[in-house]
Every structure is written in structure tokens, then in C-alpha cells.
């Protein structure tokens, strides 16, 4: 068996690799050629942290495994990431454990890679002005991923902490060589933006419908429970909405579940899964003025595809450490 830590995973998986792998994985998923139940989630403690179990099987790749993921918002106070994860891969013919690998970076990077896939498929071709809401791990990863699929001209970032958004602007300007401005409000950040990435820890909407310009594409990844959302009901109601998993979105995405409960939309408001657009079974953007939303929850086949690719490359390159249970 092979043990792969985060340093190994970073060496093995580039963002460009992950964008391509996520397109294929989502197409397989939406075509019904994978097996993946709705993830099991346990709430932990008074802070409503959660522990999730996300198994999947991709027969075409011979990939079988599961991700164990925790989200503890209080971790920042003790210097730990809020999202931590471990991925287990098994032999699909015997069930034998093949690898244990760090899943924190895979979760970070594949989430941004899927948002980049949504941007490639749904954003206007000339979209290059980006607003990032949030200034943490996902904000950074999303900006890196978006730079792979669109020629960025300008970036604005907003988060509740002035110090954090200024640090983000300085760091990411040096990294991507594009002007990055720290905005004093959400409205200022999204004014005239053509792509918006929502990567906040918000439980209530931070983005209002009237602030979003026609033709904008939004990738919303921050709210992952049915009682949390980042967008107001009017924005979701008036936009064309795409998801990674229809089943998952209707069970867990507060940005969709809450407007349904308010009778503003119903389940049919979800235009398609992203994999159906990539697979040619659904139409993406229909006009330059249409507002499109990709509501991301993260699905197990994304983690499995990334982990399977990492294991293949580790075996080829001799990375990782062998161990016996």
C-alpha cells in the first residue's frame, strides 16, 4: 500500500491536469456510468461542524474509494485548515486497500478546477473581469484555476477582513501578474464583474440580485449545507442554474433548497448538471445577456478521479511511502 501526503499530491497534480480530469469525471457521472450515493454527513459538537463520508466507483477507470472529510470552522483559531480530508483507494477486483492519501489539497484544488470547468462551459468567451468573494484557501485556488480558462484582465476581492483582502490582493497580483484590487464592499467588488466566484463561509446571502450584471457567470462553492446560502433568492430565481449533482443539490444546497422552500422556484429550475453540458446532452449559455450560476457542492467522483490520477503518477514516478497494516 502507498501513503501519499500533501507534498506528494501537490507534485503529482497540476491545476491543468485537474481541470481536464474533472470534465471527464463529471461527464461520466452525469451519463450514469459511475456509482455514487448521496454523501453521509454527521454534525459534530455545538458548533455544527461536520464529518462526511463520500464513496464512489468509476468502472471505466477501475477506481474505487472513499473520501473522509471534516469541516470545523473553529480550526482557524488553532492554526489548522477548516477542511481536512483523507482519501482511501481500493482495488476494484479484490477490495484490497491500495493507497491512503491526504485529501485536503485534492478537495481544495478539485473544487476550483470544477468551477473552472463551469467557467469554460458557461462564461462568455470574452469574460475577463473577476470578482472573488472570500479571501481564504478556496479564493486563492479559484483565482489560479480561472486563469487557466479565461484571459483575466482585472480582479477584485472582498472579504469581511480588510487585512485579509489586502494580503490576498498583494499575494495574488504577484502570482498571476494581473491587477488585483481589494474592494471595500461586495457591491463594489462585483460591479461590472463578468465572472464571480463565491468562496465565503457565509450562512446568509452576501450577494444580491441587483448587483449582478447581465451576462455574468457565477461559481458558488461556499455554502454546502441546506441551511446556508451565499446568494439571495431573487438572484437564483432570475439566473439559469447548473449543478454538479442534481440529487445532491436538491438535498444539500441551501442556495437552491431555501428558494424552493420559499416557493420562488421548484426543482425544475435546475437547468442541467455540468456533466450533461460537457457531454453534449444539455445546452449551456444561450445568450450573452444570460446570467448563469454553477452551484457546487463537490461530489465523490471528483475526489476519486483526482486520487486515482495521483496514484497512477506516484507509481510511475516512485513517490510516496509503502506501508503494511
Which pLDDT score, from 0 to 100, does residue 112 have? 97
pTM (2 d.p.)? 0.94
Which pLDDT score, from 0 to 100, does residue 229 have? 95
Is pLDDT at 76 greater than 90 in this prediction? no
CB contact set of 268 (below 8 Å; sequence gap of 6+): none
pLDDT digits over 35-50, tens only? 999 999 999 988 889 9
The ranges of the chain annotated as CATH 3.30.1780.10 are: 2-107+301-322
Q: At 98, is the pLDDT very low, low, confident or very high (cuts 50, 70, 90)?
A: very high
Closest listed residue to residue 233, CA positions, set 241, 243, 245, 224: 241
> What is the rounded average pLDDT for all residues in the chain?
96
Which pLDDT score, from 0 to 100, does residue 207 have? 98
Give the cell for residue 181: 484590487
CB contact set of 273 (below 8 Å; sequence gap of 6+): 26, 29, 30, 242, 243, 244, 245, 246, 282
CB atoms within 10 A of CB 279: 18
Closest listed residue to residue 254, CA positions, set 216, 211, 220, 210: 220
Q: Which residues of 104-132 are buried (b: 16+ CB within 10 A; e: fewer)?
A: bbbbbbbbbbbbbbbbbbbbbeebbbbbb
Q: At 324, is the pLDDT very low, low, confident or very high (cuts 50, 70, 90)?
A: confident
pLDDT digits over 162-205, tens only? 999 999 999 999 999 999 999 999 999 999 999 999 999 889 99
pLDDT digits over 5-20, tens only? 999 999 999 999 999 9
Looking at 11-20, 123-132, 145-154, 223-232, which range is the least confident one?
Answer: 223-232
Terminal-to-terminal C-alpha distance of the chain: 9
Residue 56, helix vs strand vs coil: strand
The ranges of the chain annotated as CATH 3.40.50.720 are: 114-298
pLDDT digits over 262-319, tens only? 999 999 999 999 999 998 999 999 999 999 999 999 999 999 999 999 999 999 999 9
Measured in whole angstroms, the distance separating CA 306 from the mean position of its chain's CA atoms is 13
pLDDT digits over 213-243, tens only? 999 999 999 888 899 999 999 999 999 999 9
Q: What's the rounded Cα separation, in Å, for the pair 309 and 153?
A: 32
Which pLDDT score, from 0 to 100, does residue 143 have? 97
Kindly report the backbone phi and psi dihedral angles of residue 55, in degrees, each rounded to the nearest multiple of 5, phi listed first.
-90, 155
Which pLDDT score, from 0 to 100, does residue 5 have? 97
Residue carrying the nine cell digits 461520466: 28
CATH topology for 114-298 is: Rossmann fold (3.40.50)
Kindly report the backbone phi and psi dihedral angles of residue 130, in degrees, each rounded to the nearest multiple of 5, phi listed first.
-115, 135
Q: Is CATH 2.40.50.140 the right assignment for the domain spanning 2-107+301-322?
A: no
Amino acid at each position: 500500500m502507498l501513503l501519499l501526503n500533501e507534498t506528494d499530491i501537490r507534485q503529482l497534480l497540476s491545476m491543468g491536469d485537474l481541470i481536464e480530469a474533472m470534465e471527464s469525471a463529471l461527464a461520466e457521472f452525469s451519463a450514469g456510468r459511475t456509482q455514487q450515493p448521496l454523501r453521509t454527513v454527521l454534525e459534530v459538537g455545538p458548533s455544527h461542524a461536520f464529518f462526511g463520508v463520500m464513496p464512489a466507483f468509476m468502472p471505466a477507470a477501475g477506481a474505487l474509494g472513499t473520501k473522509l472529510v471534516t469541516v470545523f470552522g473553529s480550526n482557524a483559531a488553532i492554526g489548522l485548515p477548516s477542511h481536512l480530508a483523507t482519501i482511501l483507494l481500493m482495488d476494484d477486483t479484490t477490495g484490497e486497500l491500495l493507497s491512503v492519501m491526504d485529501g485536503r489539497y485534492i478537495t481544495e484544488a478539485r473544487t476550483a478546477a470544477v468551477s473552472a470547468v463551469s467557467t469554460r462551459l458557461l462564461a462568455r468567451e470574452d469574460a475577463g473581469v473577476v470578482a472573488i468573494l472570500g479571501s481564504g484557501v478556496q479564493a486563492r485556488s479559484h483565482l489560479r484555476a480561472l486563469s487557466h480558462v479565461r484571459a483575466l484582465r482585472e480582479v477584485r476581492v472582498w472579504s469581511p477582513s480588510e487585512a485579509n483582502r489586502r494580503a490576498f490582493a498583494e499575494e495574488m497580483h504577484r502570482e498571476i501578474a494581473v491587477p488585483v484590487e481589494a474592494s471595500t464592499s461586495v457591491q463594489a467588488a462585483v460591479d461590472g464583474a463578468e465572472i464571480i466566484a463565491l468562496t465565503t463561509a457565509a450562512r446568509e446571502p452576501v450577494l444580491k440580485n441587483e448587483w449582478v450584471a447581465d451576462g455574468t457567470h457565477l461559481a458558488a462553492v461556499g455554502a454546502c449545507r441546506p441551511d446556508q446560502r451565499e446568494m439571495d433568492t431573487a438572484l437564483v430565481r432570475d439566473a439559469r442554474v447548473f449543478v454538479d449533482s442534481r440529487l445532491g443539490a436538491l438535498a444539500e444546497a441551501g442556495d437552491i433548497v431555501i428558494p424552493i422552500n420559499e416557493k420562488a422556484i421548484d426543482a425544475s429550475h435546475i437547468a442541467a448538471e455540468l456533466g450533461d453540458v460537457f457531454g453534449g446532452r444539455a445546452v449551456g449559455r444561450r445568450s450573452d445577456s444570460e446570467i448563469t450560476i454553477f452551484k457546487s457542492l463537490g461530489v465523490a467522483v471528483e475526489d476519486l478521479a483526482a486520487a486515482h490520477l495521483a496514484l497512477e503518477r506516484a507509481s510511475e514516478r516512485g513517490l510516496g511511502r509503502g506501508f503494511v497494516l
